[in-house]
Structure 1
């Protein structure tokens, strides 16, 4: 059994990490968040220590190092995106390995800095790249590899996850903290595309806004029109009123809808990490590079045929 600490315990994604810690037979020993709306801890690990100040949290973790049976083995990080780098580095220096939510860091230079901290401390950072564990994605990857065809696949990626007005009022609506829609909700989808279709050849960005973004990505094996949105009005009529989220990959008219089974992937990710098969910093590099480029690209439509249908309707009517 390993002892876990959790940074960002009051966040949206934290309960999935708490559940994964419990379901893998480990102990949530201490948690931290500046907000104290963390009553869910009682259903996971009621004896956990909890702090609302990072200094007290880190001091407590340092003291635990004196007892090998109580020291923190792994810190799970669910804090706002812009704090990931600082929290990862601090956790490594505490003498713990790290499991961090996406997006791991905003730029490749920050990723390289964390590689140096790994070397200095002898501890390891793992990224949650949960779509690499989704059964439908694994089957698709195997199917594409087995086909071994020369021509590239024509693909449409659609991800719509309904969010209320709170989203833009929170840190997620602040570009300096979330790094925008494509980074905050898109990075693991771009990683998934790389996982299935190989290295990136070309990237174009056609629109980036507060609630949606879209563009074109070309990989070794595919040409992908992508569309991301947090606006419920963008949901297809077939799912409106039935589910708040729609995840789809359409490959030349064959749709793979992979919304189901998504919430259980954190436990699988933890199982793989604890078994020594987790995805580290180098595995995260592709996604980091992709979203870094997207954030700095200018919105220019070079070829209307490359527009995702949802984006074409939005831009061209």
Structure 2
């Protein structure tokens, strides 16, 4: 990836968080400059590695004032990268747009589909853009699967099993991630990128059924235009298949299409950097791209679980 100086300036909200280092690395690798960062926590020594001269703020009010002053001086930041908790994304996107900057936001962009509509109006009012990182769309194996589906006969329907198990300790449920009103629940917090990828490849939803939906586990059936999908999401180490446990794995991800495994276990390392490059090239994913998956997980969050009836994921038999 080129590191030629693009002259683009950035702010970053949530710089002490888990995902922020990938954004900082992407900004550096694509030739940008991080000018300012915000977080309520001050464990941000990673800035010394990449952008030691970046201004750092503990209070959003002071960060907002910094952005406002730059805009008044005719020198607004080009982008604000948002790595804050899910329920704050909407407010932080608004802060960016009102201060003359485009927003680059982690998934889920917002928790409710109507929030997308309101942000579209704010885009129109400010002339700024909102970009969502949908990096699975850039994964080579996923792009190859979409090409294969696009080239198949239009009436073909695929049978898919999606399994994603990522072990989390007790801390998870004590943090904002464990509060459904803040994270959106398991389907939103850890499943949103898979639901985006699936609807991007296989078309709009036609049926949405939830079999179980708990704090650490969710499963259901999703009928898309070109696919029947049984999905299973879990935070519980005990749900990881024994063969994967014996290999010492804490995370297990699997997508089978008509019984054939799609291998996308590798290739994740540089997807944030690639996503930033796409945005700089004018190819970033905007509000129109992200709304379908937000609608899917919002519906999952509000559907009544039906238990083990109908076509459910095979892991539920255990």
Report deviation, 1:176.
1.3
Which residue of 178, 185, 191 maps to 1:180?
185
Tell me the residue number matched to 1:11. 17
Which residue of 52, 74, 78 maps to 1:73?
78
Which residue of 274, 284, 292 maps to 1:278?
284
Which residue of 26, 41, 59 maps to 1:20?
26
Tell me the residue number matched to 2:3. none
Which residue of 39, 59, 66 maps to 2:65?
59
Unaligned runs of 5+ in 2: 1-6
Report deviation, 1:44.
1.4
1:247 aligned to 2:253?
A: yes
1:122 aligned to 2:127?
A: yes
1:269 aligned to 2:271?
A: no
1:233 aligned to 2:265?
A: no
Q: Secondary structure at the match of 2:17?
A: coil
Tell me the residue number matched to 1:37. 43
CA RMSD of aligned residues (A): 1.3
1:145 aligned to 2:150?
A: yes
* TM score, norm. by length of structure 1: 0.95
Report deviation, 1:49.
0.5
Q: Distance in 2 between matches of 1:148 and 1:44?
A: 49
Report matched runs for 1:80-119 at 5 Å. 80-119=85-124
- The one-character-per-residue Cα deviations of 1:27-52 (angstroms, maximum 9, x if unpaired) are 11100001111111111111111001
Contact 1:100 1:128 (C-alpha < 8 Å) held by counterparts: yes
Contact 1:201 1:219 (C-alpha < 8 Å) held by counterparts: yes
Q: Distance in 2 between matches of 1:259 and 1:244?
A: 13
Q: Distance in 2 between matches of 1:186 and 1:17?
A: 20
* TM score, norm. by length of structure 2: 0.95
1:133 aligned to 2:138?
A: yes
Which residue of 162, 174, 180 maps to 1:157?
162
The number of residues matched between the two structures is: 311
Tell me the residue number matched to 2:264. 258
Q: Distance in 1 between matches of 2:156 and 2:308?
A: 22
Report deviation, 1:67.
4.7
1:293 aligned to 2:299?
A: yes
Unaligned runs of 5+ in 1: none
Report deviation, 1:181.
0.3
Contact 1:154 1:251 (C-alpha < 8 Å) held by counterparts: yes
Contact 2:211 2:309 (C-alpha < 8 Å) held by counterparts: no
Instruction: Give the 3 Å change call, closer, same or farther, for CA 242–264 of structure 1 in structure 2.
Output: farther
Between 142-151 and 247-256, the greater mean CA deviation after superposition: 142-151
Report deviation, 1:96.
0.2
Contact 1:64 1:71 (C-alpha < 8 Å) held by counterparts: yes
Contact 2:160 2:258 (C-alpha < 8 Å) held by counterparts: yes
Contact 1:206 1:214 (C-alpha < 8 Å) held by counterparts: yes
Which residue of 213, 224, 238 maps to 1:219?
224
Contact 1:245 1:259 (C-alpha < 8 Å) held by counterparts: no
- The one-character-per-residue Cα deviations of 1:245-270 (angstroms, maximum 9, x if unpaired) are 22211012111131212232111111
Contact 1:74 1:99 (C-alpha < 8 Å) held by counterparts: yes
